[in-house]
Amino acid sequence: MALAHEMDDRGIVSRIQALGGQLTGTEQLLVARLLAAPREISLGTSADFAQRAGAHEATTSRFVRKLGFRNYAAFRDALRAEFLHGAEPAERMSATLQISGGNLLDGLIGQEIAALSAILDHIDQTRIARAAELIDRPRQFIFAHGNATALAVMVERRLRRMGFLPVLLTGGPRDLAEQAVGIGAGDAVILFAFRRQPRSYATLLHVAREQGAATLAISDAIGPALSPAPDLLLAAPRAGDDDSFQTLNVPMLLCNALILALGNRRQPDGLSALTRLGELIRRFDLRDE
């Protein structure tokens, strides 16, 4: 068994995703704390990690073994290899957070800068390109709940401007059921999930898979704990911790990067659609004068 663990070269996020619904509530909290501060946890002890989640140290030991590591030391080595790409970015983040001096606006700006700077610890351009390829289909169904609806509306509008046929999945269970009837093979389903997994997430993902549609989830620290896992996940922690005020700046940047990558893939068709849009806007503006 130890040999199998040593030969398992999957990243930590992939290991968490593979567990799906097997994580307990406390383990899901450990995942959230892990993705919110991977650098700090990689430099600390098992007891430090447990304290962040208000758990017993034995819980972290069981958690890392469930991930397939022999012991906590092996887990920490893998964490360092995956997230410690150099001390300078971490030092810049820490310095940014410390200069607020109790000023609310400065503190919020510092947190946002730190969160935005840490995105590359979790997602690189290759993954963004893969996500753009995944959703590069004539029609995308976009699901969001709560504050994430603002992002869904933004993505829907930008996709439409590029000549796609996006569909917003909104409303209660019956509304979602009626809208999901149209999901079919060749479509893509984009799901937003922040803080906790939305109630309709699992059902929508199952429906998408039954119909042969591709699935992309855009999330924060809970991303690897989403169950079932999507075909592709874009997840990076937002500013602050799970229990504090958080903004949508990090996922909005991911959405913008995704749209730009999709536009790059769609050249020249995507640019032609935008050119046509500009012409139509001028025509409508002239008629309204």
Full DSSP string of 34-100: HHHSHHHHHHS-HHHHHHHTT--HHHHHHHHHHTT-SSHHHHHHHHHHHH-S-HHHHHHHHHHHHTT
The model's pLDDT over 162-187, given as tens digits with 9 standing for 90+, comes to 889 999 998 888 999 999 999 999 99
- In terms of Cβ atoms closer than 10 Å to its own Cβ (0-12, 13-18, 19+), residue 265 is middle
CATH topology assigned to domain 123-278: Rossmann fold (3.40.50)
C-alpha 70/C-alpha 66 separation (Å) is 9
Three-state SS across 171-206?
CCHHHHHHHHCCCCCCCEEEEEECCCCCCCHHHHHH
Average pLDDT (250-266) is 93
Mean pLDDT of the chain: 83
Task: Tell me if 52 sits within 8 A of 26, measured CB to CB.
Answer: no
Annotated domain spans of the chain: 2-83, 87-117, 123-278
Angle at 153 between CA 147 and CA 158, to 5 degrees: 140
5 vs 105: which has the higher pLDDT: 105
Give the β-pairing of 188-193 and 214-219.
Answer: parallel
CATH of domain 2-83: 1.10.10.10
Threshold 0.85, pTM exceeds: no
Report which secondary-structure segment, H or E, holds 215: strand 214-219
71 vs 3: which has the higher pLDDT: 71
* Nearest alpha carbon to residue 173 among 132, 142, 203: 203
Say what the pLDDT of residue 171 is: 87
Mean pLDDT lowest among 92-96, 127-131, 220-224, 254-258: 92-96
C-alpha 168/C-alpha 158 separation (Å) is 12
Residue 93 has pLDDT above 50, yes or no: no
Contacts of 13 (CB under 8 A, 6+ apart): 35, 122, 223, 224, 233, 235
Say what the pLDDT of residue 60 is: 92
Average pLDDT (151-157) is 95
Contacts of 38 (CB under 8 A, 6+ apart): 79, 82, 83, 121
C-alpha 278/C-alpha 270 separation (Å) is 13
Residue 158 has pLDDT above 50, yes or no: yes
For residue 192, the cross-strand partners are: 218
Given CA atoms 268, 277, 256, 156 in this order, what sign does their dihedral have? negative
